[in-house]
Amino acid sequence: MDHSVVMRPCACIPSLCAAAYTSNVITENLAIEGRNLSYSITTKHGKFVPILKDCSLRIPTGQLWMLLGPNGCGKSTLLKVLAGLLKPTVGAVYVKRPRSFVFQNPDHQVVMPTVEADVAFGLGKFNLTQYEVMTRVSKALDSVGMSDYMQRPVQILSGGQKQRVAIAGALAEACKVLLLDELTTFLDERDQIGVIKAVKNSLSESGEVTALWVTHRLEELEYADGAVYMEDGRVVMHSDVPSITSFLKKRISSYTDQINS
């Protein structure tokens, strides 16, 4: 994944705070909609490289969806287009505001010395009283199961705990959409499950927060409400979990047959 975009990790993206709505997009009950999105680049040698090709997706409010696909198929690029970090070459995007992007590497997520200060970091812009800040911080930490760590230094946290603190930062800012890029890549199994459960819990507590979770790990599908599967820059399937699981099992078994034949 490209980490060249540097910002306050997990902060709501300031340039996106105004409503960004592109005409002809139906938004009823949807937190995320992309229609016919293409994204391409032209290299310094003048070569045209299509990265996303006519991708469409619709994610209902309050749900956790996974974005799956082989290495290099365009998952992170699609997530960055939805985050507004990249402008699609063609197509329309609607994503509820505020939205937050959480990066893959836990060490890029936390910037303040303590957990409490880190979660409160993005709240300065809201002109809140100390009491309101404290209330938001404790509620957000509670949602991700990190209340007991409020006064801890961030350096001593595990990778998964850092990711949960980053998610709490977004929740404290009343984020409506979480765009989560392979958060569990660097985590051990226990931390991995802790992060995904924290996201799931945050969504069910609020009912208003929606998450799109990029992953390679098929076992994480069991926590999802739906999934989008990509290959070679295209959305190949967009559906409920049982259908996508059965599709992927067939895909894997046909691949195994091919390499064994």
Ligand X SMILES: Nc1ncnc2c1ncn2[C@@H]1O[C@H](COP(=O)(O)OP(=O)(O)OP(=O)(O)O)[C@@H](O)[C@H]1O
How many angstroms separate the CA atoms of 168 and 210, rounded?
A: 14
Q: Token digits for 200?
A: 């799931």
197 versus 234: smaller Cβ distance to ligand X: 234
- What minimum distance in Å lies between the beta carbon of 213 and ligand X? 13
Cβ at position 78, least distance to ligand X in Å: 7
Can residue 41 be called a binding residue for ligand X (CB under 6 A)?
Answer: yes
- Pick the binder of ligand X from 8, 22, 26, 72 (CB under 6 A): 72
The residue (of 71 and 130) whose beta carbon lies closer to ligand X is 71
Of 171 and 228, nearer to ligand X (C-beta) is 228
Choice between 3 and 8, CB closer to ligand X: 3
Minimum distance, C-beta of residue 223 to ligand X, in the bound complex (Å): 19
Partners of 60 in beta bridges: 30
Contact string 75-94 vs ligand X (x = CB under 6 A): xxx-----------------
HEC sequence for the chain: CCCCCCCCCCCECHHHCCCCECCCCCCCCEEEEEEEEEEEEECCCCCEEEEEEEEEEEEECCCEEEEECCCCCCHHHHHHHHHCCCCCCEEEEEECCCEEEECCCHHHCCCCCEHHHHHHHHHHHHCCCHHHHHHHHHHHHHHCCCHHHCCCEHHHCCHHHHHHHHHHHHHHCCCCEEEEECCCCCCCHHHHHHHHHHHHHHHHHHCCCEEEEECCCHHHHHHCCEEEEEECCEEEEEECHHHHHHHHHHHHHHHHHHHHC
Q: How many residues bind ligand X (CB under 6 A)?
A: 13
Answer for which of 13, 51, 55, 82 binds ligand X (CB under 6 A) is 51
CB of 77 to ligand X, least distance (A): 3
Candidate list 15, 42, 71, 151; residue touching ligand X; CB under 6 A: 71
Q: Which stretch binds ligand X (CB under 6 A): 25-33, 74-82, 149-157, 199-207?
A: 74-82
Binding status of residue 98 toward ligand X by CB under 6 A:
no
Question: Does the footprint of ligand X cover residue 73 (CB under 6 A)?
Answer: yes
Residues at the contact surface with ligand X, assessed by CB under 6 A = 1-2, 41, 49, 51, 69, 71-77
